[in-house]
Amino acid sequence: MHDHDDPAWGPLPVRSAALRWLVLLPLTLVFLPVWWVVWVLLALCFYGIAPVVQLVVYLMPRSENGAIRMLDATLGRVPFIPRWCVTPVALVREGDAEYYRARVDRKVGKKTRLAAASSLGLHRDLELGVHYFRGAGAGHVMRVASELGWSLHPLLRSHPRRRLRLRHNGRPQPDTGA
C-alpha cells in the first residue's frame, strides 16, 4: 500500500511567475497544438489496430489484461495535457491549494455519483492528470477518493507526480448530506 503522506504524494512546488509567463506560456502556445495533433494521430493508429486486437482477445480471452497493459505502456505514456503545459488555471491559481482541493473534491464527487448510478459498471474509471491536482497533491486525491470507494487502478499504473488512475469499487456510497 502507498503512504499517501509521503512527500512524493504532496503538492508540487510552486512555479515562479516569471517561469510561468515568460517560458511555459509561450512554450504551451507554440508546441501544445503540435502535441495534440501527434497525440490524435497516435490514438487513431491505435484505434485502427483495435479490431485486430479485439479479435485476438476474443479468441484468447486471457490476453485481455496484456492488451490493456500494452495500450497503457504506449498511448498511456503520452498525456493529452503534458506536465510542461501551463493551463489558464495554472497561470492564475498557482500555489492556491484550497482551489485545487475544492476542484478535486468536485471531480471525485461527480464521478462517484456517476459510478454509483451506473448499473452496468460504466464510469468506474477516473484519470486525473497532474494539472488537475497540482496544488493539492496526489495524497489529497487519494484521501478524498478512498473515502468514496475509489482505489488505485489494478492494471493501469499511476504516478503521484504525473497522473492518478483510479477505479471505483462499484458499491453505492452512503449519502453524507453534502
Dig out the grid coordinates for 1 from the structure: 500500500
Confidence of residue 1 (pLDDT cuts 50, 70, 90): very low
pLDDT tens digit string along 69-85?
777 777 777 788 887 78
Residue 37 in this model has a pLDDT that exceeds 70: yes
Q: What is the pTM of this model?
A: 0.73
User: What three-state secondary structure class fits 159?
Assistant: strand
Q: In what order do the strands lie in the sheet with 125-129?
A: 125-129, 163-168, 150-152
pLDDT tens digit string along 42-53?
888 888 887 888
Task: Indicate the average pLDDT of the chain.
Answer: 83
pLDDT at site 178 = 47
DSSP string across 59-98: HSGGGHHHHHHHHHHHGGGS-SS-TT---HHHHHHTT-HH
Spatial neighbors of 156 by CB under 8 A, at least 6 apart, are 68, 72, 76, 165
pLDDT at site 109 = 93
Nearest to 132 by CA among 118, 115, 148, 144: 144
